[in-house]
A and B are shown apart, each in its own frame.
Chain A
């Protein structure tokens, strides 16, 4: 049984390709003149502050909502969970875009109501938008921890004379800190790697400065900054891998049955979040649609997005299959799978920078759609690998054995049992990659061939030109696509998990 599994050679090649961006950046950065200057320090400072504030904000919003949606008996509970998790599916640059346009002197809110609101920009503005779109990470991980905690300890604390509120603080929170930490680290990672939000909010973080350098033809400087950003991302990833799940025996969790008034009050307290993260962007985009119509939007932009994303989805799934199977086969395969996960940690702007350089060195790739598709595949491959692996792992080996003893050859068993059962994973993986690629902004900005405008890049041009009203159609299309992503996220097994909670 020591035979080298058939999937290994393929997986190895793919793992090596996944390493390309990092290798390219390392070589590029050595050309860079200055390793570190005072402006660099400012950027580092900004990025870290944004990361910390985002993580903090996501906890402040996410943890109470997690407790509410897990422990309180809510009518239409699943509706609330999906609604409150929805901002996760929206790219935060859409939020940033509408916040930027809505608030401040001369903003849309002032035009509508006549009340001048403070401007949304800089560190605080960026952090608020980031927190509004990343708290669902904390919500979901905390919910998972909460749901597995047995109610016994809280009940014991209350019979010992502690109030409900204090028993949650003293008995529940210490036991779910790992769940909270896992979610807030994801939020921190998002804050580090997102390009659109700080760029729109005029806040100089690594991602924004990398883009500025790139536009000023400072490719090696951009690479140097990218490398520095990757180091921080790497540190957060290491931290994240250290966070362990709870070790407790799962039990029946706490359930609270509040009165009508209390319930109403609790649900009302979620209102600001829903209003800000979902309602405001929708309203603003609809307002523009009603006032400015479709502007100079052309349907080819949507088609371009779809074209590149479909190609990315197909390639990602084809490439993910051997990686997923290798990961199931053995230890070496799992390491190869881990390597392909690098792409997920590489911020889009960094991936873009690395592949632009690849394009410069390999002229047949330069300014081609292929390079953009490669960037999508490298970035979103882990989504496809993850879904395919989890569905294939769910296939009991005794099913294949059963088919074999019923007289099916290995080929027939694969075709009639393994493949149909993996199909759902394949389709789900492809759909996830497709939806992510549709919304991708920074890598598309850097790698899209000249004249190749997508929904996301068109939105960016509109922002740069300052004609916000023209963003209505692409903005609403992107929200629609995000809605599909959300539906996918809560379909199938995830949905079943949700039902049990």
Chain B
């Protein structure tokens, strides 16, 4: 089990990681997300021992790193998958994967599992991006680390490759049964592969929870906006947790004890839209997305809400529509 307590990292006098606390179960995948410059990569480097920590401790059972006792990376028994893959250009795929191994059994096993058999003797510069990523992953896993760090492993790959590869990596990590911390700036990636996700801003962890909870019950508006399209609709919260808004009533989940005047978090698919000549709302713009359409709809008091609707439901900008809240789960409500 990995435990991080009150971890801080300073670069000269800039605090890039601020008082981080987390624990990781034995085969759990934790996704760390945040905008550029939020300290994601610094956390990984601190965990790997590539930058010194200034406060707190990192504990992995058989070692414990503190500001006074900075353990060098090679003593930490961890694995790291780098953004630019960091394959050794002078070594073959097989030699890369077995870099420090005498026993080649795990090398062969991971080559087999990740489908790299045909590339065994190739040099890294002849491989495609996806192949390089598989080799980097195989190298990390074959060395049997007791936990794994992944630094934006998919950011250098084509969009088409990302979907498949992210599942392949998740399956491999689960098969190896090691805890992993995976850093990304892609919220979709974070929501889909993580067991838990942590959202970072300016070196601080804003929320650490399951993807479902982070998405539907974000602790603040920053997290709400970062994880996906978010609209905020004013409403009045009653004591029975019903909130009444201009487009109807719904159940609410107050965040941080919000009461009375609140803003309800609406995701585009929490709403339903129907073309109606007598409707009180009006479509401002429509965006075709293939399987769906995204609309911006103006309510009668001028609020703009984003609504996602089936692709056959075609409404032109300027048309009048009726809008209602279709979701059945309680909606997050923030103090206005």
Interface residues of chain A, those whose CB is within 8 Å of chain B, are: 396, 398-399, 401-410, 416-417, 420-421
Are A401 and B48 also in contact (CB < 8 A) when A406-B139, A406-B143, A408-B74 are?
yes
Given contacts A406-B100, A407-B100, is CB(A401)–CB(B86) below 8 Å?
Answer: yes
A-B pairs with beta carbons under 8 Å apart, 25 shown: A396-B86, A398-B82, A398-B86, A399-B86, A401-B48, A401-B50, A401-B73, A401-B82, A402-B80, A403-B99, A404-B49, A404-B72, A404-B73, A405-B48, A405-B49, A405-B149, A406-B79, A406-B100, A406-B139, A406-B143, A407-B77, A408-B74, A408-B100, A421-B89, A421-B90
- B76 CB–A CB distance under 8 Å: yes
Interface residues of B in 69-105 (CB under 8 A from A): 72-74, 76-80, 82-84, 86-90, 99-100
Q: Mark B224-243, 1 if CB is under 8 A from A, else 0.
A: 00000000000000000000
Check B76–A405 contact: CB distance below 8 A.
yes
Interface residues of B (CB under 8 A from A): 48-50, 72-74, 76-80, 82-84, 86-90, 99-100, 139-140, 143, 149
**A407 to B74, Cβ gap below 8 A?**
yes
Q: Which residues on B sit within 8 Å (CB–CB) of A416?
A: 99
Number of residue pairs across A and B with beta carbons under 8 Å?
Answer: 58
Are the C-beta atoms of B90 and A404 separated by less than 8 Å? no
> Measured between alpha carbons, how far is A409 from B149 in the docked complex, in Å?
19
Overall SS of chain A's interface: helix
B180 CB to closest chain A CB (Å) equals 14
The listed residue (A398, A403, A404, A407) touching B84 by CB distance below 8 A is: A398
| CA–CA, A203 and B270, complex, Å | 90
> With A401-B73, A402-B88 given, can you name 14 additional A-B contacts, CB distance below 8 Å?
A398-B82, A398-B86, A401-B50, A401-B80, A401-B86, A404-B49, A405-B50, A405-B74, A405-B76, A405-B80, A406-B79, A407-B77, A407-B100, A407-B143
What residue in chain A is nearest B52 (Cβ atoms)? A1
What does DSSP make chain B's interface, helix, strand, loop or mixed? loop
A404-B50 contact given A420-B90, A421-B89, CB 8 Å threshold: yes
Bound-complex Cα distance A401 to B143 (A): 15
Q: Please, which residues of chain A bring their CB within 8 A of the CB of B48?
A: 401, 405
- Output the least CB separation between B165 and chain A (Å): 19
Min CB–CB distance A428 → chain B (angstroms): 15
Most chain A beta carbons < 10 A, residue from B88, B140, B149: B88
Residues of B within 8 A of A408 (CB): 74, 99-100
Knowing A405-B48, A407-B143, A408-B100, say if A399 contacts B74 (CB, 8 Å): no
Chain A residues with Cβ below 8 Å from B77 are 407
B90 and A409 contacting across the interface, CB-CB below 8 Å: no
CA of A401 to CA of B83, assembled, Å = 12
The CA-CA distance from A136 to B74 in the complex, in Å, is 50
The 5 closest A-B pairs by CB, nearest first: A402-B86, A404-B73, A398-B86, A405-B80, A407-B74
Chain A residues with CB under 8 Å of B80's CB are 401-402, 405
| Complex Cα gap A410–B77 (Å) | 15
B145, closest chain A residue (CB):
A405
Residue in chain A with minimal CB distance to B89: A421
Using CB atoms, name the residue of chain B closest to A400: B86
Q: A396-B84, A398-B84 are in contact. Are A405 and B90 (CB under 8 A)?
A: no
Q: What distance in Å separates the Cβ of B293 from its nearest Cβ neighbour in chain A?
A: 37
Chain B residues with CB below 8 A from A402, complex form? 80, 82, 86-88
The residue of chain A having its C-beta at the shortest distance from the C-beta of B149 within the complex is A405
CB distance from B98 to the nearest CB of A (A): 10
Whether A406 contacts B99 by the Cβ 8 Å rule is yes
Q: With contacts A396-B84, A398-B84 known, is A405 near B78, CB below 8 A?
A: yes
Which among A396, A401, A405, A408 has the greatest number of chain B C-beta atoms within 10 A? A405
Bound Cα distance A233, B127 (Å) = 48
- How distant is the Cα of A289 from the Cα of B73 in the complex, in angstroms? 65
Kindly provide the distance from the CB of A258 to the nearest chain B CB, expressed in whole angstroms. Answer: 35
Q: How far is the CA of A409 from the CA of B48 in the complex (A)?
A: 14
- Cα A417 to Cα B149 with chains together (Å): 21
Within the assembled complex, what's the spacing in Å between the Cα atoms of A467 and B140?
A: 70
The residue among B48, B50, B76, B83 with the most chain A CB atoms within 10 A of its own CB is: B50
Give Cα distance in the complex from A410 to B73, angstroms.
Answer: 10
- What is the CA–CA distance of A224 and B116 in the complex, to the nearest angstrom? 69
Interface centre among B84, B86, B100 (most CB of A within 10 A): B86
- Bound together, the chains give a CA A420 to CA B100 distance in angstroms of 16
CB A172 to nearest CB in B, in angstroms, measures 34
Q: How far is the CB of B36 from chain A (nearest CB, A)?
A: 18
Indicate which residue in B74, B88, B139, B149 contacts A404 across the interface (CB closer than 8 Å): B74
Tell me the bound Cα distance from A409 to B75 in angstroms.
9
B143: A residues at CB distance < 8 A: 406-407
Enumerate chain A residues within 8 angstroms of B86, measured Cβ to Cβ: 396, 398-399, 401-402
